[in-house]
Structure 1
Amino acid sequence: MRNVVYGINLTADGCCDHTKGNGTEDVHEYFTNLFKDADLVVYGRKTYELMVPYWPERAKSLSESVSENEFAKAFDAIDKVVFSTTLVAAGEKTTIFRGNLAEEMTKLKRLPGKKISVGGVNLPSQLIALGLVDEFHFVIHPTFAGEGRRLMDDTKFLKQPELKLVESKVLVSGAIALHYVKQ
Structure 2
Amino acid sequence: MRKLIYGSNISMDGCCDHTKIGGKEDILNYFRELFEEVDLIIYGRQTYELMYPFWPEVAQKGSDNAAEYAFAKVFSAIDNIVVSSSLESVENERTSILSDNIKEEILRLKQQPGKAISTGGVTLPAQLIEWDLVDEFHIVVHPVIVGEGRRLFSEMSLPENRNLKLVSTTTLSSGCVALRYERD
Common topology (TM > 0.5): yes
Q: Percent identity?
A: 51
Q: Where in structure 1 do 4 or more consecutive aligned residues deviate above 6 Å?
A: none
Structure 1 residue 127: deviation in Å?
Answer: 0.2
Instruction: Name the residue aligned to 1:119.
Output: 120
Instruction: In structure 2, give the amino acid aligned to 1:20.
Output: K
Aligned positions of 1:1-183 closer than 5 A: 1-90=1-90, 91-183=92-184
Q: Counterparts of 2:113 and 2:8 in 1: how far apart (Å)?
A: 25
> RMSD of the alignment, in Å?
0.8
Deviations 1:58-108 (A, max 9, x none): 000112411011110111000001111111211120010111221111011
Give the conservation status (yes or no) of the 8 Å contact 1:32–1:70.
Answer: yes
Q: Counterparts of 2:64 and 2:177 in 1: how far apart (Å)?
A: 24
Q: Counterparts of 2:159 and 2:56 in 1: how far apart (Å)?
A: 37
Q: Counterparts of 1:28 and 1:104 in 2: how far apart (Å)?
A: 29
Deviations 1:6-63 (A, max 9, x none): 0000001110011113310100000000100000000001100110101000000112
Instruction: In structure 2, give the amino acid aligned to 1:30.
Output: Y
Give the conservation status (yes or no) of the 8 Å contact 2:10–2:21.
Answer: no
Q: Counterparts of 2:142 and 2:103 in 1: how far apart (Å)?
A: 31
Deviations 1:120-165 (A, max 9, x none): 1100010011100000000000111111011111211123211000
Q: 1:64 to 1:84 in 2, by over 3 A?
A: farther
Instruction: In structure 2, give the amino acid aligned to 1:2.
Output: R
Q: 1:108 to 1:23 in 2, by over 3 A?
A: same
Aligned length, in residue pairs:
183
For normalisation by structure 1, the TM-score amounts to 0.98
For normalisation by structure 2, the TM-score amounts to 0.97
Instruction: In structure 2, give the amino acid aligned to 1:14.
Output: G
The gaps in structure 1 that reach 5 residues or longer are none
Q: Counterparts of 2:70 and 2:146 in 1: how far apart (Å)?
A: 27
SS in structure 2 of the partner of residue 140 of structure 1: strand
Give the conservation status (yes or no) of the 8 Å contact 1:58–1:64.
Answer: no
